[in-house]
Amino acid sequence: MRIISSPIKFLNRDLSILAFNERVLSLAQNHDYPLLERLRFLCIVSSNLDEFFEVRAAPHVDAMRGEEQQTDINVQSYLAISKAAHTLVEKQYQIFNNELMPTLAEQGVRLVSHGERTPEQKRWVAKYFESDVRPLLVPVALDPSHPFPQVANKSLNFIVALGGNDAFGRSNNIAIVRVPRALPRLIKLPKTLSGKQQLFVSLSSVIRSHLASLFTGREVLSFSQFRVTRHSDLAVDEEDVKNLRTALRKGLVQRNFGDAVRLEVSNNCDEKLAKLLLQQFDLPKQSLYRVHGPVNLARLMQLADLAEGANLKFKPFEPRISQQLVPGQSYFGQLKQQDVLIHQPYESFESVIDFLREAVHDPDVVSIQQTIYRTGSDPRMLKLLQEAVRRGKEVMAVVELKARFDEEANINWAEDLESVGAQVVYGIVGLKTHAKMLLVMRREVGGLKYYGHISTGNYNPRTARLYTDVSMLTANEQITRDMEYLFRHIASQVKLPRLHKLLVAPFNLHTQMLAKLRAAESAAKAGKPARVILKMNALTDEMLVKALVKAGRAGVEIDLILRGACILPIDAKGLDGRIRVRSIIGRLLEHSRVFYFKIGDDEDMWLSSADWMNRNMMRRVEIAWPIIDAKNRARILQECCQVYLDDNQDAWLLQADGSYKLAAELALSKAPVFSAQQYLMQKYAD
């Protein structure tokens, strides 16, 4: 077989991220989903877009301003991304206005505008405004003594054009009103004013209907809500700071006032006001988003939380205990017999909490070490680690202070742990610690015995009910010894010894994955079976993409199950359909990372904390661990790979032009409709 070596034209990463959000938005139109859940997905897209602009947009906006351009970031790339983002936002508001809100109103759940309110409702809202809102509003009229105020990232504001003169006879005609973040964005009207319906008013509507009362003696000529998104990817030069935690605390304040990258205004915003805002924030006109509704749809997540009705929400799914665990028996005894897989959220994360709890209360446990990346608001693990310190155990927590948008929560965790005497370390300079590990050392006959937990997902009990992840409890001597070496390396930065089982980024994870792909390529060239299945969140590392394409050209059959961004072009010359990419978008967020290789007669599988992105491979501490037990390997292959390859309901297939199409719409087979997530929820419910 002649192997083609033509160059690869990668797909645009940012357009791929926006395409992912188009797929999420499709769930807001899924009539099989309850209405409030559809609203949630609409809000999730808004939240995702916020993060996209905060993290990815700044270089593109700089290019549009005529500043330094890069090879793949220029005026043309900005215009393409802007067009895709505008189209996505327009579709969002069409769904919101034309589908979701009218249908929710039919179910008695309504957002009541000022014009729709009854006289009694208007009086109630006016009273609420006077008692709870007006005292917190401080309009700022613009003049030489009052320049344009600092506008924080993603804060909601009003810009107001005024007629007449102020109290000093001056004609300053622009004022800014900041909407306090301390106030709820939605207010539920009392039942006495709602009847049998559930009626809500938005805070912006409350302010808008009483805006004129803030400017006594002046005429409100026009006004608009506005919201500016700023570049917020917090950067700290770790080599140049003495205390990373202190530097990050200062940086968190500055983050709110980074360079502007997007401006949202009401659709009817006066052209002069819009132009003034663009000039104020030094933004090109393409950065202006006129929206037909609430300026911040993400805040409407409160409606999905506050509104009631079993028919409007998903029926709660209750995870079961791991099928490999025996309730009531010691974890330590059970792990001596076998490794225990936990397939979240079908199986409960509570088993991890219980494992830690047993370790904390076991008098023979002498040490607990854990990485902390994103923990959420559930305090139980923090309290258990604090209790372990009080019981005299050695506790070391590797707290990643630079976990994007979780910096403040992690700083608080670090300070709370240090306050009781735990040893807290912040990882390695220049690298984020993204590995998910919990290691327990227990004094037993013959010496210390190690027990570990490793996972593809975070130690976050809330997301453990929403994200699919696979974790493993183990007493395997080689794996747990490798974990101890890695904890020691992170804390003391001594040279990492040769490990027995774990692969660790940035040292050998990347090279070993490349080596696996080369081995598959060699097998295919020799006429041997060669099969690769990869499940992860994103594929953007160019070296790994090139290796995949090269393997595909050699005859390796490759299936990629990628939730989000993918830069691999499936139509690259010589592939002939041997690389297939699918994205599963459903009720649960796909988060597990599984790397499966069948090369000749050999089969191996790795679970990992890492996606195949350059940052994961080169700028983070990540782990991958082998699934040694054949039964566990078969189980993961079935539950995390095969059922997703069989999915023809929630699966989107990557097309040659970089777009995605629903498998159901392509009608590739006459197989019955099948959803992997629904199948697994049903399987674990039985």
- 495 vs 73, residue with greater confidence: 495
Q: In whole angstroms, give the CA distance from residue 20 to residue 222.
A: 37
- Which of 475, 501, 527 is the last residue in one of the domains? 501
Q: Are residues 215 and 88 in the same domain?
A: yes
The pLDDT of residue 241 is 46
Band of residue 16 on the pLDDT scale cut at 50, 70, 90? very high
- What mean pLDDT is reported for the chain? 92
- Which of 476, 501, 526 is the last residue in one of the domains? 501
Q: Are residues 393 and 482 in the same domain?
A: yes
- Which of 434, 467, 501 is the last residue in one of the domains? 501
Q: In the chain, what percentage of residues exceed pLDDT 70?
A: 93
Q: In whole angstroms, give the CA distance from residue 409 to residue 130.
A: 34
Q: Are residues 651 and 608 in the same domain?
A: yes
Q: Are residues 142 and 276 in the same domain?
A: yes
Which range, of 214-223, 246-255, 336-345, 437-446, averages the lowest pLDDT? Answer: 246-255
Q: Are residues 105 and 121 in the same domain?
A: yes
Active-site pick, 231, 343, 434, 591: 434
pLDDT tens-digit series, residues 347-364: 999 999 999 999 999 999
| Within a domain: 336 | yes
* Whether residue 551 has pLDDT greater than 80: yes
Residue 572, helix vs strand vs coil: coil
Q: Are residues 427 and 546 in the same domain?
A: no
The pLDDT of residue 205 is 95
The pLDDT of residue 255 is 63
Strand partners for 178: 157
- 8 vs 521, residue with greater confidence: 521
| Within a domain: 319 | no
Q: In the chain, what percentage of residues exceed pLDDT 90?
A: 81
What integer is the mean pLDDT of 398-409? 79
Q: Are residues 458 and 521 in the same domain?
A: no
* Whether residue 280 has pLDDT greater than 50: yes
Number of domains in the chain: 3
Strand partners for 604: 597
Q: pTM of the predicted model, to two decimals?
A: 0.93
Q: Are residues 573 and 654 in the same domain?
A: yes
Q: Are residues 59 and 97 in the same domain?
A: yes
| Within a domain: 3 | no
The pLDDT of residue 75 is 87
Tell me whether residue 591 is one of the annotated catalytic residues: no
What integer is the mean pLDDT of 190-200? 95
Strand partners for 159: 176, 224
Residue 164, helix vs strand vs coil: coil
* 42 conformational bin, left if phi > 0, alpha if psi -120 to 50, beta if neither: alpha
The pLDDT of residue 304 is 94
| Within a domain: 391 | yes
Residue 251, helix vs strand vs coil: helix
Indicate the burial class of 658 (C-beta count within 10 angstroms; 0-12, 13-18, 19 or more): middle
> What CATH number is given to the structural domain containing 389?
3.30.870.10
* Whether residue 93 has pLDDT greater than 90: yes
- Tell me which residue range forms the domain holding 428: 331-501
